[in-house]
Structure 1
Amino acid sequence: MENKIEQLKEIINESNKITFFTGAGISVASGIPDFRSIGGLYDEISKKGLSPEYLLSTEYFQNDPDGFINFCHEYLLFADKKPNIVHDWIAELENEGKSLGVITQNIDGLHTDAGSEEVDELHGTLNRFYCIECDQDYSKSEVIEKNLRHCENCGGPIRPDIVLYGEMLNQSTIFSALNKIREADTLVVLGSSLVVQPAAGLISNFEGKNLVIINLDSTPYDHDADLVIHEDMVKVIEALKNEA
């Protein structure tokens, strides 16, 4: 892996418009299991005979808003989860002016927690909640600390600002993500299988110099990449920082 770390270091040093694209794998080191991995949300709920897709759908929220928010409190709100070294590294490069920002498939909000400001959250974020009746905003910390299920202003149901099954991705977020990819000289993919559409299809719009993929498993875009590292990304970034 040493040669690949050297190559990654060279690419990062020579790049001035890096865009990051992240998936569930980046948050595993923060204690958030991959959605479909053993021990992940899908696995845990399926064992109880429930459908994760239904519980995360607009249909379920409309049919049983109380059940939906109770589900969010039990399975989605990770009050104790913090950004890891990879989130921090991405935020540092943005702060240094070398990165255009990050595009993420994750809803955990850890990129913004790490200090990244230019974040396109394709599937929304659990860091924001809102009342569907009066649009009152709530932070994740408020919802957790006050154990909120209903709006303090009007009593209406509150929900996280995430994209549920049956909803469209936010178009302005998609356009922002496309601009980041098209303007980038380097695109670094971290912890994504690049199979979930339409998010993963954004990668095909990259026309810059270096495509880097860091993921434990192979992806459909490996053959197009200039550098592929199938290793634990925490170890990769630790090694990279030690080389700096």
Structure 2
Amino acid sequence: MPFNIAGYSIMQSKDRFTAIILALLVWGFAGALFGALFAGLHQILLVLGLTGWLPLIVATAAASMTTTAFYSAMPVALVGSMAGVLASIGYLVVIGQDIDLLMIASLAAGAGVVAGAFYSWMVTGSSRPLAETLTGLISGSLAGGVLSLLLWFLDEPVSVFVLAAGVVALAGVFFEIFEHWLVKLGVAWLPGVVSAPLVAGLIAAVVAGSIWILGNTTTTVLDMRTQEVITHVLNDIPPGLLGGVLGGAITGIMLEIFGFRLEEQIEDQM
């Protein structure tokens, strides 16, 4: 039977188009989460008094680490999310409307560690979730540092939308460049017994922090400083989310075009 060149070309183009659409969706959603987290954390750090390059780097590193945990260690992230929600609800039932951020985050993190340890005991796991999360931390730190340097050279104010798009794009590129060998190194050296508990604890603390923000929006008895934090955070999250979507989508398409196959990464994590 002769080889159908035209049919093969159409199938190849269809597969390529499907891969680009998949990259667009996955990176867009990841960018939305990354951008929203970055915008909220960055504004909180600014209101709390951090200045210079530190808020940008810390917020980018934390957002990158959290987003990586959600997308590269989904089962562990779901365990941490459930633990964070349950611990936060329990805290609200007992304490009521007087929500302390440090207390609720610490309680949720502890619940996440316990839940992650139980998950690790039930399901034979490896150190891959922690290795992926630390790779996200390193990528985010580098992205924040590079963007801080660029802003220092420009010496011009930049909107939250542009900041979010920039950090998402840079962190995504760094993550793709470093992931293979950093994760391989982490899997070989990091202890698997603490992998799931630490990642689940991180996610639980982030979930509790989100609940703290949402809970305080309905509370009228707040000091002025807390009201200021909540207002600034809520104002910055929408442009941060949209900027993250843009940065993630563009990065995903460019990486797919240049040979970083998302479908191959998904197969490796299965």
TM-score scaled by structure 2? Answer: 0.27
- Which structure: greater strand fraction? 1
- Which structure: greater helix fraction? 2
